[in-house]
Amino acid sequence: MEVVGDVEDLKLEFSVKALVKGMAKTAFNARRLGEALNILEKITIQCNLRVLTLAGAVVPAGLRGILCDVLARDLFDVVVTTGANVTHDLLMAFGGKHYRLKLIDVNEERLKMKGFCRIYDVAVRVQDFEVMEKGLRRILEQMEDRVYSTKEFLREVGLRLEDESSFVHTAALKNCSIIVPAFYDSILGVQVWSMTQTRKLMVLEALDLSYLVDLQFEAKKRGGKTGVLIVGGGAPKNFALQSALIANKPFDYAVQITIDPPYYGGLSGATLGEAVSWDKVFEKAEYCTVYCDFTIALPLLFSALLC
């Protein structure tokens, strides 16, 4: 622990970038956010392998467009995410929507009767899942029977989507890989599973592990740097970090956005310092955790980075 400089009084700013940059010399999570921006700049500019992990309802929360922009601008090589985010992206690609709920007099039964289900203050129509199912079925009919990694499977799907606002579609076009390490743990997985019970089409996450580890090995061989932006915890966080462990190529840069404290011992709250002890993050890495709702932190960071 050492004194590294003065706290510098923050100024009101018109631009997101100037404001977040200024935060780096303040305190608490504003400082962390400012430092995260500085590290993210290095990840996107200096790294040979750039991984984004996404847990949490990023798409239902209205960040699908920002995600597309980020992938269209080539910021990341790999996105590791939940089946849920892919599910909700497909739901929208096939015409579905997300609705804003007012959280007064919450009555789940009434909501269900009206055909909605709820993600905190967002509602989805059950029938939109049915429309999505039909769309997905049409795509699956075009795909050959074989064993796919989730990455290969989602590329095949992404290329067939006709929605420029879909991040799965954008990723497919930009050759960014999407990995879903708990594939069958989502409505997407369930639909694929039920549509392929009489077929030999199979999705196996072990293949994604090979793929991601290979990317880390390559980066290592070339003496390159690797960086990761971790949003939330869950399987996406662990999957990205364990690949670094296996390849013996700990990340050189890491930013984590979470709201979970470390002292409950869970993965989402585990510090990047802990990850150093596991050789998942390099001991000389630049890393930083921001304790903030991702719906606030991500738009700030990406606006500062890209606008």
Residues labelled catalytic: 280
* Minimum distance, C-beta of residue 272 to a second copy, in the bound complex (Å): 9
Residue partners of 79: CB distance under 8 A and separation at least 6: 51, 52, 53, 54, 71, 167, 171, 176, 177, 178, 179
Smallest distance, a second copy to C-beta of residue 254, A = 13
12: phi then psi, degrees, rounded to nearest 5 = -65, 140
Complex with a second copy: residue 32 or 50, whichever CB lies closer: 32
| Shortest distance, position 95 Cβ to a second copy, whole Å | 13
Of residues 183 and 222, the one with the C-beta less far from a second copy: 183
Residue 74 or 222 having the CB closest to a second copy: 74
Nearer to a second copy, 191 or 226 (CB): 191
Those residues whose C-beta lies under 8 Å from the C-beta of residue 42, and which sit 6 or more positions away, are 227, 253, 286
Q: Which is nearer to a second copy, 84 or 222 (CB)?
A: 84
Contact status, residue 196 vs residue 183, Cβ threshold 8 Å: no
Q: What is the maximum alpha-carbon separation in the chain?
A: 66
In 3D, which of 56, 65, 55 has the Cα closest to residue 170?
A: 65
CB neighbourhood size of 7 (10 A): 9
Q: Please state whether beta strands 122-125 and 116-119 pair in parallel, antiparallel, or not at all (unpaired).
A: antiparallel
Least separation in angstroms between CB 192 and a second copy? 8
Give 166's Cβ-side CA count (13 Å radius).
Answer: 25
Q: Name residue 50's beta-bridge partners.
A: 227
Report the nearest approach of a second copy to the CB of residue 53 (Å).
11
